[in-house]
Chain A
Amino acid sequence: MDNTMYVTLSRQMVLHRELDIVANNIANADTAGFKLEDMMTRADQAAPAKTVGLNAPVTFVMDDGVARDFKQGALNATGAPLDLAIDGKGFFTVNTAGGPRYTRDGRFKLDETGKIVTQDGNAVQGGGGDIVLDPAKGPISIAENGVISQAGQKVGQVDVVSFDDLSALSKDGNNLFRNTTNVQPQPTTAAKIRQGSLEGSNVQTLTQITRLIEINRAYESMTNIMSQTSDLSRRSIQRLGSVN
């Protein structure tokens, strides 16, 4: 009898986390370079627990992992010269206090020393180091392969790197990804840099709202099972326990 309670409870706990993930997706529906996430669940067999009489095992629901959808987000033209979008697979490399981080959020700017930085002031990497530009040399133009030129002269290079295994990446917040393995990313030429555009978040709000409804209803039905189960045990106690 108690198994029912615990199985529904395991589902409810997972639903709570699913809701947290959907809430984060919706909150970031307008964050440049954000990648959609979804909860993966698995059936966890409780080894000793068996249904009485039948030999069917009891399985609980477990959260197994977060699936990240690295599908390309839509490109929005902004016209700002240091807004860069990656069209294809790849990441910009950013140097932070904690080591290299990777991002697809290309809202860059120049800092007070002329270095290309992210909005948090971390230096964008290119050609083996920071990229320093002098805006006085003329308008900045960045080619599809990342070559930065001013007045027809090459003045630098923005690197785009790619990972063979995207599951090596862990989210760090601030639109940054961290590499959790020792496998270093490789420079890629498959991706094109689009200057004056930004990659929007790839969250499709319609599907997220549908997920919200799903989660809500699933939670409700789990609650119903719970109250029915407790009803059942209450009534059985009343009937079986009545003395006459």
Chain B
Amino acid sequence: MQALRTAATGMAAQQLNVEVISNNIANMNTVAFKRQRAEFEDLLYQTLETPGAQSSDTGTVVPTGVQIGGGVKAGSVYRITEQGATTRTDNQYDLAIQGRGYFQVLLPSGETAYTRAGNLSPNDQGQLVTPDGYLVQPTITIPQGTTQVTISKTGQVQVSQQGQTAPTVVGQLQLATFLNEGGLDAQGDNLFLESAASGAATLATPGSPGVGTLLQGYTEASNVDAVSEITALIVAQRAYEMNSKVVTTADQMLATASQVKS
């Protein structure tokens, strides 16, 4: 009975939907988290009678045919990369990216990862690192005796040191942009890797055309909207319930059929 399997695909799809929604809600307060959306597509159709097929020798055609669908599948889980709100933290090492772009992070494996989470801090050697201790590329070292760090909109890092009047430039941050940000390969820890779908990274100075600018003392909040997630959760639960009703109906029909022969 096709209906049983169709309803099962519907239930599986809604289960995936709830998993995606729950991950969004769980990461509501994760810095620079981008919400995801499960996207559904209908499955292949079984054509019992082809629409447009000739139904007689005189050339009459079947108007619509009989096509029976096999249910639903998850096409993809799409990441919506729209800008999150910026949150003021007053921490001089916190950076929010306004616009397109990712910070580059050197993983211990030697690979380069990308992140928009700008909650950075200096390590024991004064180098700027992510909360996991991975180096931000290009490496920026804050010298000892620094009283204040200023990071400009265009990514220039300047430090003021004791006994000096003029600030010194210690480095220049760069942002990587991708043609298809949604295609980046999420690694957890707010990190992404380049993939075939994302296209190659293009490095640029913040503030150059088409690249975002930096905002010191702020972090980018997640772009999860609690209300729309909860609404989506309600829809998913009801859709799951309704698919289970189809299973019950198909089951009852089968039971009725088997009662004929008593």
Chain A residues with a Cβ under 8 A of chain B: 12, 15-17, 19-24, 26-32, 34, 37, 39-40, 63-68, 78-81, 105, 107, 109-114, 119-120, 134-138, 167-175, 180-181, 205, 208-209, 212-213, 215-216, 219-220, 223, 226-227, 230
Say yes or no: is B19 at the interface (Cβ < 8 Å to chain A): no
A112 to B200, CA, bound (A): 8
Contact B179 A27 (CB under 8 A): no
Give the segment of B63-71, B120-128, B165-173 that binds chain A: B63-71
Contact B260 A20 (CB under 8 A): no
Q: Besides the contacts A27-B69, A110-B179, what 19 more A-B pairs have beta carbons closer than 8 Å? A: A19-B1, A19-B250, A20-B6, A23-B2, A30-B236, A65-B51, A80-B82, A109-B183, A113-B199, A114-B179, A119-B39, A135-B179, A169-B51, A170-B51, A171-B67, A172-B44, A205-B242, A219-B256, A219-B257
Contact B257 A223 (CB under 8 A): yes
Contacts of B40 in A (CB 8 A): 28, 30-32
What 1/0 flags go to B205-247 for Cβ under 8 Å of A? 0000111000000000000000000000001101100110110
A27 to B257, CA, bound (A): 24
A45 to chain B, nearest CB (A): 16
Contacts of A34 in B (CB 8 A): 42
Contacts of B42 in A (CB 8 A): 24, 28, 31, 34, 171, 173-175
Known: A23-B246, A172-B45. A111 touches B253 (CB 8 A): no
Say yes or no: is B75 at the interface (Cβ < 8 Å to chain A): yes
Contact B62 A137 (CB under 8 A): no
Contacts of A114 in B (CB 8 A): 179-180, 199
Smallest Cβ-Cβ distance to A114: which chain B residue: B179
Contact B80 A27 (CB under 8 A): no
The one of A40, A66, A113 in contact with B67, judged by C-beta atoms closer than 8 angstroms, is A66
B4 to chain A, nearest CB (A): 8
What 1/0 flags go to B42-57 for Cβ under 8 Å of A? 1111011111100000
Contact A79 B249 (CB under 8 A): no
Contact B211 A136 (CB under 8 A): yes
Shortest Cβ-Cβ A-B pairs, 8 listed: A136-B210, A27-B10, A112-B199, A24-B69, A23-B6, A23-B3, A180-B52, A173-B44
Contact B183 A23 (CB under 8 A): no
Say yes or no: is B87 at the interface (Cβ < 8 Å to chain A): no
> Which of B1, B6, B42, B252 has the most chain A CB atoms inside 10 A of its CB?
B42
Contact A26 B246 (CB under 8 A): yes
Smallest Cβ-Cβ distance to A215: which chain B residue: B249
Contact B70 A24 (CB under 8 A): yes
Instruction: Report the contact-size class of chain B (Cβ under 8 Å from the partner).
Output: 35 or more
Task: Show 9 A/B contacts (Cβ-Cβ < 8 Å), sorted by A.
Answer: A19-B250, A20-B1, A24-B70, A26-B243, A26-B245, A28-B69, A112-B178, A114-B180, A227-B262
A175 to B75, CA, bound (A): 10
Known: A65-B49, A209-B245. A30 touches B14 (CB 8 A): yes
Say yes or no: is B146 at the interface (Cβ < 8 Å to chain A): no
A237 to B178, CA, bound (A): 81
The one of B39, B64, B245, B262 in contact with A212, judged by C-beta atoms closer than 8 angstroms, is B245
Smallest Cβ-Cβ distance to B194: which chain A residue: A112
Smallest Cβ-Cβ distance to A25: which chain B residue: B69
Contacts of B209 in A (CB 8 A): 136-137
Contact A180 B50 (CB under 8 A): yes
Smallest Cβ-Cβ distance to A171: which chain B residue: B45
Contacts of A67 in B (CB 8 A): 64
Contact B51 A167 (CB under 8 A): yes
Contact A136 B252 (CB under 8 A): no
Known: A30-B239, A66-B66, A205-B238. A109 touches B257 (CB 8 A): no
Contacts of B180 in A (CB 8 A): 109-112, 114
Contact A20 B262 (CB under 8 A): no
B18 to chain A, nearest CB (A): 12
Say yes or no: is B26 at the interface (Cβ < 8 Å to chain A): no
Contact A23 B71 (CB under 8 A): yes
Contact B210 A138 (CB under 8 A): yes
Contact B45 A32 (CB under 8 A): no
A169 to B63, CA, bound (A): 10
